[in-house]
């Protein structure tokens, strides 16, 4: 025993576990992730950029306001194109373009402006050198990887950690080392040696700054950053030697230029410091890659397995999708949504209805018909709680915030300064629109099932890909009445019908679990018999806004045969047609109205719906006439973007019965409190406003008189703007609004185009553009290359010969592609001098494409501003476009659901619980992680069923949830029922 303890102590001392993690591949390493190189490049950039003191930078600044105003406009437009709000960037952004596109167009414009050159930074040389080194690095590393893969397949390389590199990682590493070489060249040049420097300086101590006796000297030099920079360039990054020292590389190196006083006879055989730096980075990458892939040992010091798992849990975050960018012009999901909607409207509406198929499948026998549509297993329960929510599956943060509250065993909140405990619902009813923007396997899984499974996990044995054939698949073979876990029933919404209800049937009716909620449901509509003579009718409106004849037949027969005179009924639909009909001045849902007024006759105590993403409750005003519906409730705050409430503030009547708004969330005041934060400042070119506006007007007249394409585009835009105005207004008002809207867009387009032309013309006049041809950058680079990068061995000529001319051709056209302003300026000069007819069709395409690349960037924030201003005016002044205005904002806050309690007296207590602010960051809940989990235990039995909690504890929905509405609906007595006529025949 003693020896074992002693050996254990020795192992602990030697930390053998850490040694084992080095020798064996026990957990994944961050392969080919050159964080060290990135850090080194960033630190080097900051050092070299700050090497000039502030006084020197100020002296070098060009004081011409014209150039700096162009810089401000350029960076401003690019910023608003790619990132609309500081710290609140939407993901994916509205542009939906790669950052490489933004960087390409921005750099191509910036390097032509002269002020950077006045500060000693030549952007042309940096760009051309970057492209050359970048392309060379990619080709070199691709050859290396091909050789390495060949050795891997032969077996000369150990197969510890996989075989194939990530192409994106290769491109990233090549970009990092290219930037490093460019930064070094900008501040240190390509000086290989000082001809007159003494021998002892060549071998000077690199770390002389750090000697204790020279601390004051080091501090003084630190304050004089120029001297420190020069010493770093000459000592720390000195070339490795001459080509004669490395005979094998003598014909493959790039030589540096000689720095000396006066003339320098002869050529230098010293290796270029840029080549040395590049070769060092390439060597580090290869060494890192080979060591990791052949031994499994990373250059970063590995952690123990226990430490790694602990760190992994700490870094774990949910992979939630962002809210749908409804106005993104490049979103494939949105184009699919439009296509599915067109197909659904033209094919399914009036031609094929999935509800007819369900009715046909349910009429096999009467017993099967009841099992498919009527569920009475809740009717004998006591103290019954159930929840209602709708319109989930948009942003992952908001959907999970609601699902986390629904899954919690108890919600404790304040009501009238006293704590109130609300247990989790036995039943969850979802009122449609389960995933946005369209029903697909991706949106259902990622936007609906993922948040709910994080909130309440399905059983461990459940496999999502399996089809539920014999529903309900109750755990452990029990009967549905004996199952005490939470259950879920769902009705489809209009977004669920875009594909003809195919995805809804596959994921809801043919699956058994939504997270930890059991789904016994088999059809898209259902009837639930609840305790104390309460009923829930879940209706499927499809895209018609009404129930079909088979659905009407089922519910009317159910009312006639089973619903008693003193029973109470809750009707749930997706669309709240009492509000939408009032808003659009329309009449829909005639079959539903017939069912409620002529069959239920006063027993409909509550009608609920989603579709509108806010909470509103209207209660009837007591009168002498019959009341068919006592309360109207809308709650579509289950996770989708927010809708306004103030637009519907004047609704007060349904079927000649007066109603009063009892609660709204957000309130009418909060809903209408939208400030336009975009401020236009026009204090540039103040002396040329008159001529500028005159030119814009002339351009507009030219469009009307001469340009057929632009005129056709303007007419189409006018038609679209007129059609976009809601038809509730008169044609005259729609025409006025459409003309004003289109005029704003045309004026903005002409102004932007004129600004772009003025910028190009200024650069042409100052000889910054159109100085030669399309390949100005390449020609300039070749002249600088021959001067500062001597090639005595003819290396470049040999590479050109061996690549059959591809080497200079690729660099030449790559630089031309990065010099879009030059292409635009040269083409513009040709058009101005010789007319549009003088250029070929290909030249015209190149010109229009180059202009379009910049015009798109410039027009995106302006078009967004014009369109946003239009929506702002319409929603606040005219109460139009409530859906379009708020969907563009994608507000994830103000989420809620409604919890019901059937008490011992048979009355229905209604609590609407809401969260004002939805967290954006989540982390692993330590309570969930630390709770013991048994293999066969269902997740609803745990104290902490949800996996994630808010990163900031006091912002967690569990702590911020509040009651925004509470009321009680009394059970039905026989006096509530109308006695005008007995139940009529089924129609």
Q: Mean pLDDT over residues 767-779, rounded?
A: 73
Q: Three-state DSSP class for 615?
A: strand
- Residue 444 pLDDT: 93
pLDDT of 426 reads 94
Q: In this predicted model, which residue has the larger pLDDT, 49 or 81?
A: 81
Query: For all residues of the chain together, what is the average pLDDT?
Result: 75
Tell me the per-residue pLDDT of 857-897, one tens digit each, with 9 for 90 and over: 777 777 777 777 787 778 777 778 777 767 766 778 889 99
Question: Per residue in 476-525, pLDDT tens?
Answer: 878 888 899 999 999 999 989 888 888 999 999 999 999 999 999 999 99
* Portion of the chain with pLDDT greater than 90, in percent: 25
Strands (E) across 515-628 are located at 517-518, 526-530, 534-538, 568-572, 604-609, 615-620
Domain 335-408+428-665: top CATH class: alpha beta
Confidence band, pLDDT 50/70/90 cuts, at residue 364: very low
pLDDT(469) > 90: no
Separation between Cα atoms, residue 87 and residue 98, nearest integer Å = 19
Give me the helix-helix angle, 549-561 and 354-362, nearest 10°: 40
Q: Which of 154-168, 197-211, 347-361, 840-854 has the lowest mean pLDDT?
A: 197-211
Tell me, what's the pLDDT at 784?
77
User: How does residue 207 score in pLDDT terms, banded at 50, 70 and 90?
Assistant: very low
* Of residues 693 and 388, more confidently modeled: 388
Top-ranked range on mean pLDDT: pick from 240-244, 641-645, 862-866: 641-645
For 814, 815, 851, the CA distances from 772, given in Å and listed in that order, are 17, 14, 19
Q: What letters, b where the CB count within 10 A reaches 16 and e where it falls short, cover 283-298?
A: ebbeebbeebbbbbbb
Which residues fall within 8 angstroms of residue 226, CB to CB, at 6 or more apart?
A: 51, 52, 53, 56
Contacts of 550 (CB under 8 A, 6+ apart): 355, 356, 358, 359
Which tokens go with 403?
């699902």
pLDDT for residue 66 is more than 50: yes
3-state DSSP percent of the chain in helix, strand and coil, to 5: 50, 10, 35
Q: Give the model's pLDDT for residue 195.
A: 47
Tokens of 280: 């060092």
User: What pTM was computed for the model?
Assistant: 0.61
N residues, the chain: 987
User: What pLDDT does 300 receive?
Assistant: 46
Mean pLDDT confidence for 826-853: 74
**Is a pLDDT exceeding 60 seen at residue 827?**
yes
Buried b vs exposed e over 747-777: b needs ≥16 C-beta within 10 Å?
bbbbbbbebbeebbeebbeeebbbeeebbbb
Task: Give per-residue pLDDT as tens, 786-813.
Answer: 777 877 777 778 877 877 777 788 777 7
In this prediction, residue 267 has a pLDDT band, given cuts at 50, 70 and 90, of: low
- Which of 225-239, 626-640, 911-925, 972-986 has the weakest average pLDDT? 972-986
Q: Which of 170-179, 351-360, 594-603 has the lowest mean pLDDT?
A: 351-360
Q: How much is the pLDDT for 32?
A: 43
DSSP string for 790-803: --TT-HHHHHHHHT
d(CA 829, CA 834): 8
Write the CA distances from 465 to 445, 449, 506, 512, integer angstroms: 11, 13, 10, 11
Most confident of 220-229, 342-351, 361-370, 580-589: 580-589
Provide the pLDDT confidence category of residue 915 given band limits of 50, 70 and 90: very high
Q: What is the pLDDT of residue 560?
A: 93
Contacts of 581 (CB under 8 A, 6+ apart): 587, 588, 589
pLDDT digits (tens, 9 = 90+) for 519-567: 999 999 999 999 999 999 999 998 888 998 989 999 999 999 999 999 9
What is the C-alpha to C-alpha distance for residues 869 and 867, in angstroms, rounded to an integer? Answer: 5
If one compares 411 and 256, the residue with the highest pLDDT of the two is 411
**What tens digit of pLDDT does each residue of 383-434 get?**
899 999 999 988 889 999 999 999 999 999 988 888 899 999 999 999 999 9
Give the pLDDT of residue 637. 92
Q: What pLDDT score does 22 carry?
A: 37
Residue 257 scores a pLDDT above 60: yes
CA 384 – CA 900 distance, rounded (Å): 8
In 3D, which of 559, 568, 590, 605 has the Cα closest to residue 655? 590
**616 near 663, Cβ under 8 Å?**
yes
- Per-residue tokens: 524: 């898209």
Alpha-carbon distance of 360 to 606, in angstroms, equals 30
Contacts of 457 (CB under 8 A, 6+ apart): 515, 516, 939, 945, 947
Q: Is the distance from CB of 270 to CB of 193 less than 8 angstroms? A: yes
pLDDT at 910: 95
Residue 896: its H or E element: strand 895-902
pLDDT at 329 over 50: yes
| Residue 731 to residue 879: CA distance in whole angstroms | 17
Higher pLDDT, 885 or 974: 885
Do 489 and 528 meet the contact criterion of CB atoms below 8 Å apart? yes
Q: What confidence score (pLDDT) does residue 112 get?
A: 67
**pLDDT for the residue numbered 26:** 41
pLDDT at 266 over 70: no
Half-sphere exposure of 691 (CA within 13 A, CB side): 6
Per-residue pLDDT, 136: 86
Buried-exposed string 117-126: b where 16+ CB fall within 10 A, e elsewhere: bebebbbbbb
Confidence check: pLDDT of 239 > 90:
no
Spatial CA neighbour of 593 closest among 629, 564, 569: 629
Contacts of 841 (CB under 8 A, 6+ apart): none
Q: Which of the given ranges, 298-312, 588-602, 663-677, 735-749, has the highest pLDDT on average?
A: 588-602
pLDDT the model gives residue 64: 59
Q: Across the strands, what pairs with 568?
A: 534
Q: What is the pLDDT of residue 978?
A: 46
């Amino acid at each position: 025993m003693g020896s074992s303890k002693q050996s254990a102590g020795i192992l602990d001392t030697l930390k053998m576990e850490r040694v084992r993690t080095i020798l064996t591949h026990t957990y994944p390493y961050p392969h080919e992730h050159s964080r060290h190189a990135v850090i080194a490049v960033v630190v080097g950039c900051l050092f070299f950029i700050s090497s000039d003191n502030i006084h020197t930078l100020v002296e070098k600044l060009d004081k011409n306001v014209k150039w700096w105003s162009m810089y401000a406009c350029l960076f401003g437009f690019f910023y608003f194109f790619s990132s609309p709000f500081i710290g609140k960037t939407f993901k994916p952004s509205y542009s939906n373009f790669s950052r490489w596109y933004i960087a390409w167009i921005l750099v191509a414009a910036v390097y032509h402006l002269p002020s950077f050159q006045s500060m000693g930074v030549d952007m042309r040389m940096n760009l051309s050198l970057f492209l050359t080194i970048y392309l060379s690095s990619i080709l070199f590393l691709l050859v290396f990887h091909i050789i390495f893969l060949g050795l891997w397949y032969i077996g000369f390389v150990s197969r510890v950690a996989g075989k194939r590199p990530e192409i994106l990682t290769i491109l990233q590493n090549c970009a990092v080392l290219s930037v490093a070489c460019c930064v070094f060249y900008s501040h240190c040049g390509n000086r290989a040696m000082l001809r007159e420097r003494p021998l002892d300086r060549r071998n000077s101590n690199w770390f002389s700054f750090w000697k204790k006796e020279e601390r004051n000297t080091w501090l003084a030099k630190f304050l004089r950053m120029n001297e420190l920079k020069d010493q770093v360039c000459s000592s720390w990054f000195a070339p490795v030697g001459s080509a004669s020292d490395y005979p094998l590389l003598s014909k493959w190196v790039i030589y540096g230029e000689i720095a000396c006083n006066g003339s320098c006879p002869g050529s230098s055989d010293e290796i270029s410091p840029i080549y040395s730096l590049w070769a060092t980075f390439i060597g580090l990458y290869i060494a890192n890659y080979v060591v990791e892939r052949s031994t499994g040992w990373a250059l970063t010091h590995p952690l123990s397995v226990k430490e790694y798992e602990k760190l992994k849990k700490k870094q774990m975050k949910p992979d939630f999708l962002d809210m749908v960018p409804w106005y993104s012009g490049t979103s494939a999901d949105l184009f699919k949504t439009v296509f599915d909607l067109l197909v659904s409207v033209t094919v399914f509406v009036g031609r094929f209805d999935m509800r007819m198929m369900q009715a046909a499948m349910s009429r096999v026998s009467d017993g099967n018909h009841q099992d498919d549509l009527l569920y009475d297993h809740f009717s004998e329960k006591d103290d019954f709680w159930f929840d209602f929510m709708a319109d989930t599956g948009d942003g992952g943060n908001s959907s999970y915030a609601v699902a986390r509250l629904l899954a919690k065993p108890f919600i404790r909140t304040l009501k009238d300064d006293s704590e109130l405990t609300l247990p989790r619902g036995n039943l969850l009813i979802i009122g449609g629109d389960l995933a946005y923007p369209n029903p697909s396997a991706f949106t259902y899984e990622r936007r609906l099932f993922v948040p709910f499974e994080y909130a309440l996990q399905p059983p461990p044995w459940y496999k999502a890909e399996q089809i539920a054939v014999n529903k309900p698949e109750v755990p452990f073979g029990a009967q549905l009445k004996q199952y005490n876990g939470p259950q879920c029933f769902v009705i489809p919404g209009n977004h669920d019908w875009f594909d003809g209800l195919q995805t809804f049937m596959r994921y809801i009716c043919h699956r058994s679990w939504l997270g930890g909620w059991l789904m016994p449901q088999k059809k898209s509509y259902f009837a639930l018999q609840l305790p104390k003579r309460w009923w829930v009718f879940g209706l499927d409106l499809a895209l018609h806004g009404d129930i079909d004849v088979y659905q009407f037949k089922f519910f009317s027969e159910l009312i006639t045969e089973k619903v008693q005179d003193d029973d109470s009924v809750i009707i749930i639909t997706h669309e709240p047609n009492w509000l939408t009909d009032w808003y659009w001045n329309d009449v829909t849902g005639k079959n539903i109205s017939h069912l409620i007024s002529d069959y239920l006759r006063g027993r409909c105590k509550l009608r609920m719906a989603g579709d509108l993403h806010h909470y509103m409750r209207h209660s009837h005003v007591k009168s002498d006439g019959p009341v068919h519906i006592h309360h109207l409730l809308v709650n579509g705050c289950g996770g989708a973007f927010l809708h306004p409430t103030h637009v519907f503030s004047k609704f007060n009547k349904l079927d000649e019965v007066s109603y009063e708004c009892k609660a709204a969330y957000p309130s009418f005041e909060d809903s209408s409190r939208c400030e336009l934060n975009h401020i236009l400042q026009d204090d540039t070119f103040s002396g040329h406003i008159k001529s500028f506006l005159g030119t814009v007007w002339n351009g507009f007249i030219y469009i009307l008189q001469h340009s057929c394409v632009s005129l056709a585009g303007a007419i189409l835009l006018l038609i679209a703007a007129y059609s976009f105005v809601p038809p509730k207004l008169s044609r005259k008002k729609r025409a006025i609004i459409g003309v004003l809207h289109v005029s704003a867009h045309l004026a903005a387009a002409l102004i932007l185009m004129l600004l772009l032309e003025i910028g190009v013309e200024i650069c042409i006049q100052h000889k910054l553009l159109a100085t030669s041809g399309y390949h100005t950058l390449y020609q300039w680079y070749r002249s600088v290359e021959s001067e500062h990068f001597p090639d005595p061995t003819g290396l470049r000529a040999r590479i050109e010969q061996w690549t059959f001319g591809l080497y200079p051709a690729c660099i030449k056209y790559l630089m031309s592609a990065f010099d879009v302003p030059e292409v635009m300026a040269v083409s513009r000069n040709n058009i101005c001098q010789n007319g549009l007819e003088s250029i070929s069709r290909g030249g015209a395409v190149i010109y229009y494409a180059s202009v379009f690349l910049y015009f798109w960037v410039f027009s995106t924030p302006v078009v967004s501003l014009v369109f946003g201003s239009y929506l702002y005016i319409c929603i606040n002044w005219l109460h139009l476009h409530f859906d379009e205005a708020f969907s563009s904002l994608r507000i994830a806050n103000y989420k809620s659901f409604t919890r019901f309690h059937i008490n011992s007296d048979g009355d229905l207590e209604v609590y609407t619980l809401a969260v004002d602010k939805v967290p954006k960051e989540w982390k692993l809940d330590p309570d969930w992680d630390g709770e013991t989990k048994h293999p066969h235990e269902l997740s609803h039995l745990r104290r902490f069923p949800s996996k994630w909690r808010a990163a900031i504890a006091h912002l967690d929905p569990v702590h911020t949830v509040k009651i925004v509405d509470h009321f009680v609906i009394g059970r039905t007595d026989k006096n509530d029922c109308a006695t005008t006529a007995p139940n009529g025949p089924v129609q």
